[in-house]
Structure 1
Amino acid sequence: MSLDVAIVEILAALSISAAAGIRITLPLLVLGLLQGEDFWYNVPILSNIYPPIVLGILISCCLIELIASKNLLGQRLLQIAYLPLCPIIGAILAIALIQGVPKILIGLVGGFVALLLQLIQAGWFYRWNRFPLWLSFLQDSLCIFLVYLALKAPQLGGIVALILLGLAVNSYKELRQWYLRQYQSRRDR
């Protein structure tokens, strides 16, 4: 395998992992629909389940996820579910998408990318007390866009994922300063 092909696969894995850091079941469903029925045989864990059953479960979970993300209680429940599950799904998606690059390493990187993006979202959710409805729709659209880019334009998808990671690092700095101000104001009381 050439270095160019390996880099393209790594960028595609970053893109799909970033999508998993935004939503969990939506990237799995979109990727499975775009790749076809044979795709499910390459996905760790899901390859042991009959593909129509996997598709039915993913459609049900995706609908729940999309509906729940539009109200406050649903957003809180999703945050609780996302934190432990998104690194697992990010790793699974990254491993399922690549062919020749070392799968364990890509799985770890994919899981880390998904977890980092999810932690930043959880921080903003805590700060704002809820996500605005427009942001929820933006998350859905960005998730689908990242999956599409991972398949059709992996270089661009990887660049978008790297930009999201840069924004997440910047966002972390701002969240940390906000938290420290909150902590200082409570301490001064």
Structure 2
Amino acid sequence: MTELLAVLSVSAAAGLRIALPLLLIGLLSGNLWSHMPGLSQLPPTLIVGALVSWALAELIFSTQPLMQRLIRTIGLLLSPVVGAIAGIAVARTFQIDDTLAIVLGLLGGLLALVIHLVQVGWIYRLQRPKVWVIFAEDFLCVCLVLFAFDAPEQGGLIALLLLWLALRTSQTWRQWYLKQPNRSDRPPKRLRREPD
């Protein structure tokens, strides 16, 4: 059960950010990226360079709307892969059987996808988030990775709370969308106060 909560914690971190969790896992585990499928075959300098570059791009371009949308869209495509890789790496760190580690990795990939999907929805809805929100996401991402190794119960509970918030948010958006008038009755987008 502790291993499952650790995988959920690190997968939720992968749902918030793409490169930062992998970078932290590599630095926190004693043997860098040897537990990560796919990354263990690449040279560590290449991995560090790519992950640091992407983490800086996520941080620097998060205030520019067009670049932020591009980065979030790419992150949406990569989040299930990164969530699965991070989940498998943490499961292998706990010395779990490979078959079970793959199942936990797939579960982690789904969790990362759901969290990142809702995060992208909020970005499109809010247009331009505050800077403190971006730093809060980074702080929560770092905390979830640290919790995965040091306090998996707390990290897993935070991940489950994020999943619950994501599901509640999507349900609220669905109800809001269903309350909108029919498309044929709606005025053109340029005349609406809250366009879709």
Corresponding residue for residue 180 of structure 1: 178
Corresponding residue for residue 127 of structure 2: 129
C-alpha separation in 1, matches of 2:131 and 2:66: 13
- AA aligned to 1:91 is A
Corresponding residue for residue 9 of structure 1: 3
Q: CA deviation at 1:58?
A: 1.2
The residue matched to 1:42 in structure 2 has which SS?
Answer: coil
Corresponding residue for residue 19 of structure 1: 13
Structure 1, unpaired ranges of 5+: 1-6
1:48 is aligned to 2:45: no
Corresponding residue for residue 97 of structure 1: 90
Q: Is the 8 A contact 1:92 1:107 kept in 2?
A: yes
Corresponding residue for residue 67 of structure 2: 74
Q: CA deviation at 1:185?
A: 6.1
Cα deviation, 1:80-134, whole Å, max 9, x if unaligned, reads: 1011100000000000111215022111100000000011112222222232222
Give the structure with higher Rg (CA). Answer: 2
User: What does 1:20-39 correspond to in 2, within 5 Å?
Assistant: 20-36=14-30, 38-39=31-32
Q: Is the 8 A contact 2:63 2:128 kept in 1?
A: no
Task: Name the CA shift for 1:136/1:185 in 2 (closer, same or farther; >3 Å).
Answer: farther
Q: Is the 8 A contact 1:124 1:175 kept in 2?
A: no
Q: TM-score, normalised by structure 2?
A: 0.87
Q: Is the 8 A contact 2:11 2:84 kept in 1?
A: yes
Point out the more displaced range, 92-101 or 125-134: 125-134
Q: CA deviation at 1:70?
A: 2.6
Structure 2, unpaired ranges of 5+: 187-196
Identity of counterpart residues, as a percentage? 48
Q: TM-score, normalised by structure 1?
A: 0.90
Runs of 4+ in 1 over 4 A off after TM superposition: none
C-alpha separation in 1, matches of 2:146 and 2:183: 46
Q: CA deviation at 1:54?
A: 1.2
Structure 1 or 2: larger helix share?
Answer: 1
1:148 is aligned to 2:142: no
- AA aligned to 2:126 is W
Aligned residues: 181
Point out the more displaced range, 96-105 or 165-174: 96-105
